[in-house]
């Protein structure tokens, strides 16, 4: 399965790099989650993180941990960490 997690960004380049590294670091704590990349979507959102995972339960744990380990950009501004909008992409083979 894949998830596209949308979020807006208005911080510095350094803060963005710090946030991306934190999201990558948290994903490495899970065996079945990979932060594929952070992309620039053609929508009203500034960025979209593409994550690949085997079980939705693992993805929920990942998002909880991202929120519990505040990224300084969001924390400094009193904002909530991603996800703000979420889309799930399910492999047809996984539908039972």
Asked whether the beta carbons of 16 and 93 are under 8 A apart, the reply is no
Q: What end-to-end distance do the CA atoms of the chain give, in Å?
A: 13
| pTM, 2 dp | 0.76
Asked whether the beta carbons of 7 and 82 are under 8 A apart, the reply is yes
Closest CA to 36 of 5, 61, 64: 5
Q: Domain containing 39: what range?
A: 2-94
pLDDT in tens, 3-62: 998 887 777 888 788 888 888 988 999 999 999 999 888 888 888 889 999 888 988 888
CATH number at 67 reads: 3.30.70
Question: Residue 78: left if φ>0, alpha if ψ -120 to 50, beta else—which one?
Answer: left
Total domains in the chain come to 1
More confident of the two residues 45 and 75: 45
């Amino acid at each position: 399965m894949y998830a596209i997690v949308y979020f807006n960004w208005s911080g510095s380049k350094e803060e963005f790099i710090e946030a991306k590294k934190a999201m990558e670091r948290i994903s490495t704590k899970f065996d079945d989650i990979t932060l594929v990349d952070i992309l620039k979507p053609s929508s009203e959102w500034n960025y979209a993180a593409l994550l690949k995972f085997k079980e939705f339960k693992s993805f929920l744990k990942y998002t909880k941990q991202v929120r519990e380990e505040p990224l300084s950009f969001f924390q400094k501004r009193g904002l909530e960490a991603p996800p703000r909008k979420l889309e799930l992409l399910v492999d047809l083979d996984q539908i039972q």
